Amino acid sequence: MSFDIDVTRKLGAKRISLRFSAPSGITALVGPSGIGKTSVLNMIAGLLRPDHGHVEVGRTLLFDSDQRIDLPAADRRSGYVFQDRRLFPHMRVGANLRYGRRGYGLMDFDLMVDMLGIAALLDRWPATLSGGEAQRVAIGRALMSSPQFLLLDEPLASLDEARRAPIRAIIRRVAQEFALPVLLVSHDNGDVDQLADTIVRMDATSSG
């Protein structure tokens, strides 16, 4: 299994509890706003500690409350594309991309730039990018960390349909060519239908 997740976390008055296993490919996590989808991504990434459960990706156990395993976020090798992209405004695109580089040696810079079609953007400032351009750069920066898996939080939410199609193609290509497990949060049925190999639904029984 690519993802074997069983997490419970209390956040204020809300309790998030989700258990699922998913095979290789792209898994979509869907459900109403506020149900806790982003919190689940954060627990997998190591940015939010579950109260109980385990997080296993591939054959790597990242968190297990019973065994007292809790790998730091920096050691989990997750490529996380946040909903707000979080590009550094004071760095040009090329510097943003190189900032994410880790020493694992999986991702060649020129190959990644060519794959994403962003060579012409390297000297641009983030503020000058369109939504689709910024999203490609955010995906590129995540790839530069040589991740073992990708977490994508609403990666297409701010894009119109004309700009969604090429980003969908990029996500699919990245997942296939690098054999990366992908966990995608989306509210859009079209994106889920076109991208997801597996769908995991969160509802009122997952949060209460």
| Residues 183-200: tens digit of each pLDDT | 999 988 888 999 999 999
- Domain assignment present for residue 162? The answer is yes
pLDDT at 13: 87
User: Does 16 fall in a domain?
Assistant: no
Q: Residues 5-40, buried b or exposed e (16+ Cβ, 10 A)?
A: bbbbbeeeeeebbbebebebbbbbbbbeeebbbbbb
Mean pLDDT (whole number) for 133-155? 90
pLDDT at position 184: 95
In a domain, 202, yes or no: no
User: Are the C-beta atoms of residues 14 and 184 closer than 8 Å to each other?
Assistant: no
Q: Which residues form the domain of 84?
A: 24-42+74-195
| C-alpha neighbours within 13 Å on the C-beta side of residue 72 | 2
- Give the pLDDT confidence score for residue 85 in this predicted structure: 76
In a domain, 31, yes or no: yes
CB-CB contact of 185 with 37 (8 Å): yes
Q: Answer yes or no: is 64 within a domain.
A: no
Give the number of domains in the chain. Answer: 1
Residue 175 lies in a domain: yes
Q: 58 lies in a domain?
A: no
Confirm whether 203 is domain-assigned. no
CATH number for the domain harbouring residue 30: 3.40.50.300
Average pLDDT for residues 57-71, to the nearest whole number? 95
pLDDT-derived band at 206 (thresholds 50, 70, 90) equals low
pTM above 0.85, yes or no: yes
